[in-house]
């Protein structure tokens, strides 16, 4: 509350000053003031010129706003915070080299707090209120599904950096993570090959939600198509945060008796530790029945006790251990960035597949904007098609039409220090197929010759 | 060995490892190889499959450990086909060496690998090792592996013997192979030898399957007990706080989390300040620490919040729920999202009770621990002065006060004790789960379910309810799957509470609804 007496008081205090100003200036004062004024005008004119030049320069230099839509709190924060960090690092790199089209990038970071409704709300805020040119964000499939209508309605552009279940083909999303045929399918093919151990029995185990269910549907169709008898495929789901894996591991033990069995795990989050612990404690070894995981990467292993996980497998498109000078530079840059900005764990941070995908997403968008010469979504979209970039894990290519990314597939073995040893790598890049040939052979995704999802003839 | 042969051997090896520039010190000295071995080493790189396989067979038969460095060198330098050819050879040689390892677990896993490798050369190794084996389960695995390899041999008498041995051993690993043999019975011709083998296989299969049904039953019972013990240890603290004091403490799960993080901090301290050989002891040291920390947190909680809300269950519920959120966020800010507790080595792995029944040590430990806790609570409540006062205050607060019992103090102690029990639960749960801020949330619903089903205020009710819910869950899970088993349990609990609203063991008497 304002004091009601205040205005009266201040009026009174002002009065004497006004009286003073009405006093006639002396001759000397007039001269001094005149000189000052003349000098002032000169300086002002000079500054004005400079200012005008600076102003015309600044109009070009007005920053381009980009949105960062990752959960910074709640259950998904553990994974998504790293993606925000790497996006900001990419932005810093780009700005240090003069920005995009000579304009700096200005990130607008929002926190949807692992809440799916809030994702849609924040996406709308970024697109309508902040008018960002592009958004980098989302992790879970449910968050992506909830922002999808917002991006489509407002013609926004989203770069989505995480492997996912496919069966989607949006005009407004670029998928820099893997489609099912770039992760799950080659991983199972590897396990079936002589080199991978020629496994014959498959236990598909996942957490009960859309990604594991869809992935396992595709894998089952694929295994059946490859003449694996239905009796040799088991499928099982557990609720989120499931802790008691005794019965399931017991089942796996019976299933694996006699050899030739492997586990395909799409278990998510905090259920992984109890599962792997129980697996080891019931006397199962990675040699008897390896677990091939699609949701365990370096960033998750960072906080886990890895003793029970050593020797098991994972399939991704990138590992921190990729042995190239380019990747080593990226890893040390990321660690240095985290340390410099006092982020938790500093230089003990690691990189992994989604981090790499989020990172090169920013650079791909930058290249596309430079090719298009403007930030307009429709123009940028067209120039993303076929864009190539030397990502930390090796060169990648955006597809010519289906909004997904051509990437290499890597199978890795978990080591004691939470890193992966590459045991297999695909020959060249694998073309992404948002609609799996096993479950939806008649569907395709093409935004150049068709309008998105189309029926193959 | 004469000098010519020696030089010949050395020369052949030199040719075989032409691409290997590194001089191997061990080759010319002492253990000179026969020309055949040298030739085989060279043949491993051959383009022809038959030559390669022959060479591999020969090397496996030889199984000379001194070959390993040479093979390893070839493996790192060679191309993919060479690496693929070398792997089974090196594995076989390595596994043979491991059969003599000091650690029975390593002997066992080596025997297991040889059994599934299909190498008939390994049969004498395994039998020889089994004869001198002292560890029961290592011997079992060796015998099983040898029989499995014999079962794959073409000789019908060997097959017959192997099938009966496997039946004797109740080998679960033999089921697929035996099934295949038995299957052939229906398709095969009149060959009598073949027929006998098939009959023996079918016979063995039946024995194994009967046994497997029994072992599954035993394992299910064990799993039920294990889950019950986990439920029990989670609910004991709540049974004291909610059951005796009537406080609905939504932050109970977070007190478990406090216990779990105390264990984590203890581990970090041991890692940082004490010699590594003491590391395994951190777990024992963490128990009193977890109890005391959680009890202290509980005491502060009681004195600052809950004390003012006695007799107002709704407000208590909301307030403690708020407290739980504060705890979760604090843990997230201080410790991050995933922190791991490494189980001490003596709690890793498990004991094999009989064929096909494996009892993990960490679960056995929790079963024992929860039994000890129950006994301790019983003694404290029914055999000590403090327990007498607690019961008196629970039954009639004003009368107890009149008789000079400091009811406020008793409340505070009881709450702290219940919280300490939650801390112990958190400490024990680090053995099976992970340590994360949301840890308590995973368990709180189950704990309330157990206490309410058992009957509020009755220790025996909590025990019986946890056994019932745990057992039923494990009984349903194999056939229903984890998701539906959980749903069905909840339905059962709801129906049960409809029928008996005050739980299994209702408190009877006039003060029951007070």
Question: Which has the closest alpha carbon to B446: B419, B428, B473?
Answer: B473
Chain A interface, best mutation among B204, B482, B484, B487, by max A CB count within 10 A: B482
Residues B350, B364: Cα–Cα separation, whole Å: 9
Residues of chain A with pLDDT under 70: 1-35, 37-60
Cα–Cα distance between A447 and A28 in angstroms, integer? Answer: 79
Which is nearest to B73 in space by CA: B49, B51, B44, B95? B44
* Beta-carbon separation of A195 and B84 below 8 A: yes
User: Contact B419/B298 with Cβ under 8 angstroms?
Assistant: yes
Asked if B137 and B112 touch (Cβ cutoff 8 Å), the reply is no
Identify the CA nearest to B253 among candidates B368, B331, B355: B331
Q: SS3 of A342, please?
A: coil
Q: Which two tokens stand for residue A34?
A: 């005149």
pLDDT in tens, B224-238: 999 999 999 999 999
Nearest to B240 by CA among B380, B135, B102, B103: B380
- Express each pLDDT in A118-136 by its tens digit: 999 999 999 999 999 999 9
Measured distance CA(A107)–CA(A337) in Å, rounded: 16
- CB–CB of A259/B113 below 8 Å? no
Strand partners, A237: A206
What strand order describes the sheet that includes A405-406? Answer: A388-391, A394-398, A405-406
Among B residues 69-128, those touching chain A with beta carbons less than 8 Å apart: 84, 109, 112-113, 116
Lookup: tokens for B322: 């708020």
Which of A444-452's residues contact partners 24+ apart within 8 Å by CB, and which partners? A444/A402, A445/A169, A445/A401, A445/A402, A445/A403, A445/A404, A446/A401, A446/A402, A447/A169, A447/A171, A447/A401, A447/A402, A447/A403, A448/A385, A448/A400, A448/A401, A449/A401, A452/A169, A452/A170, A452/A171
Tokens matching residue A127: 């697109």
Highest mean pLDDT among A59-68, A441-450, B36-45, B60-69: A441-450
Binning chain A into helix, strand and coil, the percentages to the nearest 5 are 45, 20, 35
Mean pLDDT of B467-479: 91
Residue with tokens 């993990």: B360
Contact A246 B363 (CB under 8 A): yes
Minimal-distance CA residue of chain A relative to B342: A305
Contact predicate B98/B107, CB 8 Å: yes
Residue of B nearest to A288 (CA): B113
Tens-digit pLDDT profile for residues B310-340: 888 889 999 999 999 999 888 888 887 667 7
Give the mean model confidence (pLDDT) for residues B154-170: 82
At B512, the pLDDT band (50, 70, 90 cuts) reads very low
Instruction: Report d(CA B287, CA B266) in Å as an integer.
Output: 10
Distance CA A41, CA A20 (A): 26
What is the ipTM score, two decimals?
A: 0.79
Minimum-distance CB partner of A303 among B173, B338, B438: B338
B347-385 pLDDT, tens per residue? 888 888 888 788 999 999 999 999 999 999 999 989 998
Residues 6+ apart with CB under 8 A from A70: A80, A81, A83, A84, A87, A111, A112, A136, A137, A138, A139
291-330 in chain A: CB under 8 A from chain B: 300, 302-305, 307
B33: nearest Cα among B55, B62, B60:
B62
Q: Among candidates A307, A325, A212, A331, which has minimal Cα distance to A263?
A: A212
pTM: predicted TM-score of the whole model, two decimal places: 0.81
- DSSP states along B222-243: HHHHHHHHHHHHHHHHHIIIII
Helix extents (H) in A184-324: 184-192, 210-225, 246-256, 272-281, 298-301
């Amino acid at each position: 509350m304002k004091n009601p007496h205040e205005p009266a008081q201040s009026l009174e205090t002002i009065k004497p000053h006004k009286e003073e100003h009405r006093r006639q200036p002396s001759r000397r004062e007039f001269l001094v003031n005149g000189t000052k004024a003349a000098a002032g005008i000169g300086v002002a004119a000079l500054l004005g010129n400079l200012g005008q030049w600076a102003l015309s320069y600044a109009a070009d230099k007005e920053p381009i706003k980009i949105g960062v839509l990752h959960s910074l709190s709640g259950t998904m924060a553990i994974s998504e915070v790293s993606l925000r960090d790497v996006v900001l690092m990419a932005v810093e790199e780009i700005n240090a080299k003069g920005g995009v089209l000579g304009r700096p990038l200005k990130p607008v970071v929002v926190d949807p707090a692992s809440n799916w409704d809030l994702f849609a709300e924040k996406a709308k805020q970024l697109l309508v209120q902040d008018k960002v040119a592009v958004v980098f964000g989302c992790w879970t499939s449910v968050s992506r599904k909830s922002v999808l209508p917002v991006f489509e309605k407002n013609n926004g552009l989203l770069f989505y950096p995480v492997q996912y279940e496919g069966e989607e083909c949006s005009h407004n999303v670029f998928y820099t993570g893997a489609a099912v045929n770039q992760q799950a399918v080659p991983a199972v093919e590897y396990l079936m090959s002589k080199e991978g151990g020629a496994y014959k029995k498959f236990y598909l185990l996942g957490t009960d939600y859309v990604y594991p269910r869809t992935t396992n549907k595709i894998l089952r169709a694929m295994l059946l198509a490859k003449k694996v008898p239905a009796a040799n495929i088991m499928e099982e789901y557990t609720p989120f945060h499931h802790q008691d894996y005794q019965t399931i591991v017991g089942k796996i033990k019976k299933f694996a008796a006699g050899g030739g069995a492997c586990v395909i795990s799409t278990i998510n989050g905090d259920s992984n530790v109890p599962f792997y612990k129980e697996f080891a404690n019931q006397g199962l070894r990675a040699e008897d029945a390896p677990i091939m995981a699609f949701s365990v990467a370096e960033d998750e292993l960072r906080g886990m006790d890895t003793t029970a996980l050593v020797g098991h497998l994972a399939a991704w498109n990138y590992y921190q251990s990729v042995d190239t000078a380019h990747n080593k530079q990226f890893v040390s840059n990321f660690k240095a960035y985290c340390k410099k900005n006092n982020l938790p764990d500093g230089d003990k941070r690691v990189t992994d597949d989604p981090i790499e995908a989020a990172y090169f997403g920013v650079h791909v968008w930058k290249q596309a904007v430079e090719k298009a010469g403007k930030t307009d979504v429709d123009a940028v979209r067209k120039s993303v098609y076929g864009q190539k970039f030397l990502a930390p894990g090796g060169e990648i290519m955006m597809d010519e039409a289906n909004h997904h990314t051509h990437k290499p597939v890597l199978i890795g073995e978990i080591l004691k220090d939470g890193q992966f040893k590459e045991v297999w790598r695909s020959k060249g890049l694998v073309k992404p197929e948002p609609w799996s040939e096993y479950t939806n052979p008649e569907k395709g995704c093409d935004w150049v010759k068709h309008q998105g999802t189309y029926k193959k003839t | 060995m004469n000098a010519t042969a020696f030089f010949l051997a050395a020369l052949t090896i030199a040719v075989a490892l032409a691409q290997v520039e590194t001089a191997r010190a061990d080759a010319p000295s002492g253990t000179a190889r026969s020309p055949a071995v040298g030739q085989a080493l060279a043949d491993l790189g051959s383009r022809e499959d038959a030559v390669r396989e022959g060479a591999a067979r020969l090397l496996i038969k030889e199984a000379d450990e001194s070959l390993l460095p040479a093979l390893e060198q070839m493996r790192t330098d060679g191309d993919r086909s060479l690496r693929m050819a070398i792997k089974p050879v090196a594995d076989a040689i390595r596994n043979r060496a491991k059969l003599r390892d000091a650690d029975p677990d390593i002997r066992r896993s080596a025997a297991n690998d040889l059994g599934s490798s299909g190498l008939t050369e390994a049969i004498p190794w395994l039998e020889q090792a089994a004869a001198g084996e002292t560890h029961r389960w290592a011997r079992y695995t060796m015998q099983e592996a040898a029989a499995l390899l014999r079962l794959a041999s073409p000789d019908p008498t060997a097959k017959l013997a192997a099938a009966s041995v496997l039946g004797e051993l109740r080998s679960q690993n033999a089921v697929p192979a035996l099934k295949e043999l038995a299957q052939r019975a229906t398709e095969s011709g009149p060959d009598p030898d073949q027929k006998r083998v098939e009959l023996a296989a079918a016979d063995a299969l039946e024995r194994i399957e009967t046994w497997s049904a029994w072992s599954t039953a035993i394992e299910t019972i064990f799993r039920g007990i294990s889950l019950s013990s986990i439920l029990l240890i989670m609910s004991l603290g709540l049974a004291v706080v909610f059951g005796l004091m009537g406080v609905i403490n939504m932050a109970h799960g977070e007190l478990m989390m406090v216990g779990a993080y105390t264990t984590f901090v203890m581990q970090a301290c041991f890692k940082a300040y004490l010699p590594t050989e003491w590391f395994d002891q951190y777990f024992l040291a963490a128990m009193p620490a977890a109890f005391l920390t959680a009890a202290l947190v509980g005491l502060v909680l009681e004195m600052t919040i809950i004390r003012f809300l006695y007799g107002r269950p709704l407000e208590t519920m909301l307030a403690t729920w708020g407290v739980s959120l504060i705890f979760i966020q604090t843990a997230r800010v201080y410790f991050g999202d995933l922190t791991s507790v490494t189980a001490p080595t003596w709690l890793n792995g498990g004991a094999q009770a009989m064929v096909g029944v494996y009892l993990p040590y960490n679960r056995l430990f929790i079963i024992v621990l929860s039994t000890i806790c129950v006994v301790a609570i019983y003694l404290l409540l029914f055999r000590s002065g403090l327990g007498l006062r607690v019961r008196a205050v629970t039954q009639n607060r004003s009368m107890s006060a009149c008789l000079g019992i400091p009811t406020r103090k008793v409340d505070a102690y009881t709450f702290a004790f219940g919280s300490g029990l939650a801390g112990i639960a958190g400490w024990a749960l680090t053995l099976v789960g992970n340590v994360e801020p949301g840890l308590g949330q995973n368990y709180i619903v189950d704990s309330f379910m157990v206490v309410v089903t058992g009957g509020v205020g009755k220790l025996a009710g909590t025990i019986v309810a946890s056994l019932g819910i745990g057992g039923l869950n494990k009984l349903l899970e194999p056939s229903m799957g984890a998701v539906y088993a959980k749903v069905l349990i909840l339905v059962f609990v709801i129906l049960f509470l409809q029928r008996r609203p005050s739980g299994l063991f209702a408190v009877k008497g006039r003060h029951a609804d007070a």
